[in-house]
Structure 1
Amino acid sequence: MESKKKIFTTAPLPFMGQKRKFLKQFKPALESYSPTATYVDMFGGSGLLSHTVKSIYPDAKVIYNDFDNYRERLENINNTNVLISDLRLILKDYPKDSKITGLVRDEVIERIRIADEQGYVDYITLSSSILFSMKYVLAFEYLEKETLYNCVRQSNYDASGYLDGLEVVCLCYKELFAKYKDLPNVVFLVDPPYLSTDAGTYKSYWKLKDYLDVLRVLDGTKYFYFTSNKSSIIELCDWIETKTPMSNPFTGATTATMNATINFNASYTDIMIYK
């Protein structure tokens, strides 16, 4: 008997900006789109949107643009589990969520140093286990200077089947758009790094010009576009439409919002626009 494929409702490894909290609105919105369309995930990130589309529409062609090389982290998930299991053992008698100090901290740092010298360390995933909430580093030289906390995950990570059925590419979004923009029955998933939010774990830095360039993808296409109220992109497009001869790419689109909490005193509004 064939085992049922696991459907992920969150990315299998930590990723800043994944759309797990938006899935409740994203899934019903997909119902107005074709189950056999080609879905192009322009800024694939953790791949959660691509995975979700494929799980709902198994006959659809789904292109996941893994520009941030999330795939490498998934391929090394066994190494990550071994490292975190060893840290779990080192910290087994240490109070949960407390600062790691003294000889125990030295032991934790030494174990990570060995892993780093032996090969690959997924510092983003590791950060979620030994750094304060929402704080990430990308290399050992930064980690060893940080204050460590015992937030170690108590179970192994599992990504079995997560990318099954997806066509994985790694291209500049402009090149990917040029490849598919003139084909019939194509839906673009457009989730660029948010303007005016922390994008420290992304591969590149985004400026206002980059966000405005992305809007060309929305001109005359079917799309899902994600932004936040911190970017002011929607207000800018309204201004462009009323003050210039240019059109507003969001005219006639549907908007859904969700409050996102950063910490106890900071939040913003996530926005999904689809057409």
Structure 2
Amino acid sequence: MELKKKIFTTAPLPFMGQKRKFLKQFKPALESYSPTATYVDLFGGSGLLSHTVKSIYPGAKVVYNDFDNYQERLKNINKTNQLIADLRLILKDYPKDKRIEGIVRDQVIARIRTEENNGYVDYITLSSSVLFSMKYALSFDKMEKETLYNCVRQSGYDATGYLDGLEVVSQCYKELFAKYKDLPDVVFLVDPPYLSTEAGTYKSYWKLRDYLDVLQVLDGTNYFYFTSNKSSIIELCEWIETKTPMSNPFTGATTATMNATINFNASYTDIMLYKYE
């Protein structure tokens, strides 16, 4: 009997900005799109949107632009699981969610150092087990200086089948867009790092010009576009449309929103705009 393929509702490894909470709006919106279209995930991130499209439309071509090299983290998932399992053993008698101090802290740092010297360390995933919520240390030197907490994961990570059926590439989104923009029945998934929102785990720093450049891929195309109310991109496009000869790329698009909580006193609104003609 053929085993049923697992459908992931969250990225198998931690990734800031993944769209797991937006899937409830994304899936029904996708129903108005073609099951045989080509879907190009220009800012693939964790690949969750690409995975979701492929799981709903198995016959569609789905191109996942893994610019952040998430696939490398997935390939090393066994090493990550072993490291976290060893930390779990070190911390087995240590209070949960408490600051790690003294000899135990030295043991944790020593185990991470060994892996740094001899193997592979996924610092983003590791951060979720030994740092305070939403904090990331992306190197051993930075991890060593951080205050550590025992929030170690109690089970291993699994990414079996996550990238199955996807065409995985890694290139500048502009080059990928140029390759597909003139082909028939193409849908672009456009989820750039948010303007005015923490993006510390992404490869590069984005300025306002970069965000505005992205809007060019929405001109006359079918798309899903993600932003937040902190970026003011929608208001800017409305201003451009009324004050200049330029058009608004969001004209005719459908909007869906979701409240996102950062901590107990900070939140913002996630926004998804989509258009299919």
Give the alignment's TM-score, normalised by structure 2. Answer: 0.99
Structure 1 residue identity aligned to 2:234: I
Give the aligned partner of residue 237 of structure 2. Answer: 237
Where does 1:56-75 land on structure 2 (aligned, <5 Å)?
A: 56-75=56-75
Distance (Å, rounded) in 2 between the aligned partners of 1:149 and 1:119: 23
Where does 1:114-263 land on structure 2 (aligned, <5 Å)?
A: 114-263=114-263
Deviation per CA, 1:35-74: give whole Å up to 9, x if none.
0000000000000000000000000000000000000000
Residue 221 of structure 1 and its aligned partner are, at CA, apart by 0.2
Q: Say which SS state the counterpart of residue 159 (structure 1) adopts.
A: coil
Mapped pair 1:271 → 2:271: yes
Residue 178 of structure 1 and its aligned partner are, at CA, apart by 0.2
Distance (Å, rounded) in 2 between the aligned partners of 1:246 and 1:88: 57
Deviation per CA, 1:85-144: give whole Å up to 9, x if none.
000000000000000000000000000000000021000000000000000011000000
Residue 149 of structure 1 and its aligned partner are, at CA, apart by 0.2
Distance (Å, rounded) in 1 between the aligned partners of 2:206 and 2:267: 21
Distance (Å, rounded) in 1 between the aligned partners of 2:122 and 2:132: 17
Deviation per CA, 1:201-241: give whole Å up to 9, x if none.
00000010000000000000000000000000000000000
Distance (Å, rounded) in 1 between the aligned partners of 2:175 and 2:137: 30
Distance (Å, rounded) in 1 between the aligned partners of 2:32 and 2:268: 28
Give the aligned partner of residue 55 of structure 1. Answer: 55
Q: Say which SS state the counterpart of residue 245 (structure 2) adopts.
A: coil
Give the aligned partner of residue 38 of structure 1. Answer: 38
Structure 1 residue identity aligned to 2:130: I
Give the alignment's TM-score, normalised by structure 1. Answer: 1.00
Q: Say which SS state the counterpart of residue 40 (structure 2) adopts.
A: strand
Runs of 4 or more consecutive aligned structure 1 residues displaced over 3 Å after TM superposition: none
Structure 1 residue identity aligned to 2:98: S
Mapped pair 1:89 → 2:89: yes
Distance (Å, rounded) in 2 between the aligned partners of 1:143 and 1:170: 28
Q: Say which SS state the counterpart of residue 100 (structure 1) adopts.
A: coil
Distance (Å, rounded) in 2 between the aligned partners of 1:248 and 1:119: 50
Distance (Å, rounded) in 2 between the aligned partners of 1:148 and 1:202: 23
Distance (Å, rounded) in 2 between the aligned partners of 1:132 and 1:197: 19
**Percent sequence identity over matched residues?**
87
Q: Say which SS state the counterpart of residue 138 (structure 1) adopts.
A: coil
Distance (Å, rounded) in 1 between the aligned partners of 2:178 and 2:256: 28
Structure 2 residue identity aligned to 1:117: N
**RMSD between aligned residues:** 0.3
Q: Say which SS state the counterpart of residue 201 (structure 2) adopts.
A: coil
